[in-house]
Amino acid sequence: MSLQDAISKLAKDAVEKFVKPGQVIGLGSGSTAAVIVREMASLGFKDSLACIPTSLQIKAEAEKSGLRFADEGRIPDIDVVFDGADQIDASYYMIKGGGGALLREKILISSAKTVVIAADSSKFVKSFSRSVPIEVHPLARVSVAKKLSSVGGKPVLRTLDKGYPFITENGNVILDTTFASIADVPRMEVELKSIAGVMEVGLFTRRADAYYRAQADGTFEIVKP
């Protein structure tokens, strides 16, 4: 048994528990979300579902699975959104945005009636220990970086392998910003979001309705905060 076995099992369980005919489904990004999408493809009522993806990666996966799509006008109607996380702290706040889709992910998570997060056990930590992705308008790249530095952050422009800046699907750049510590996550989220030019912050303070934790031994558990 392996971690991948655990992810396959939790995907089946999550779809069985949370997906019902006629729903609007939000699809987060990443490898675990892709497994959930493939599990949805086996549903006899999949044609009744309307899906809203957060990235081209997950949209392509949903297309291969034969799922139908809804436009952004249905975002307020999202019944359940499935997503992953880069880190989940002891208060069940999250850091997301490692794949660069944090703006779209936060829009869907903030609108959904039910939020389900799935991640492997290594993503569950006592306190955050990685950088916070911050999506920034290109015009404000330098000014935002200076303001992040002034509040104790160490921003680094995300780049691709050959040194080109990583550009999000919204046409923005990402400053991966390290903080020595974040004592008050909700306050920090608001403070960073208020900087002119910041489009979205990878701190997610809406708690999910269920967290699936995949274990390396092939099992999983459901945590409800």
Which residues are tagged catalytic?
105
Smallest Cα–Cα separation from 32: which of 99, 82, 77, 88? 82
Contact predicate 195/155, CB 8 Å: no
Distance of CA 61 to the CA centre of its chain: 16
**Distance between CA 113 and CA 103 in Å, rounded?**
18
Phi, psi of 188 (to 5 degrees): -65, -40
Instruction: Give the number of other CB atoms < 10 A from CB of residue 204.
Output: 27
DSSP for residue 69: B
Q: Which DSSP symbol is given to 203?
A: E
The span from the CA of 115 to the CA of 110, in Å, is 9
Number of Cα atoms under 13 Å in the Cβ half of residue 54? 28
3-state secondary structure of 169: coil
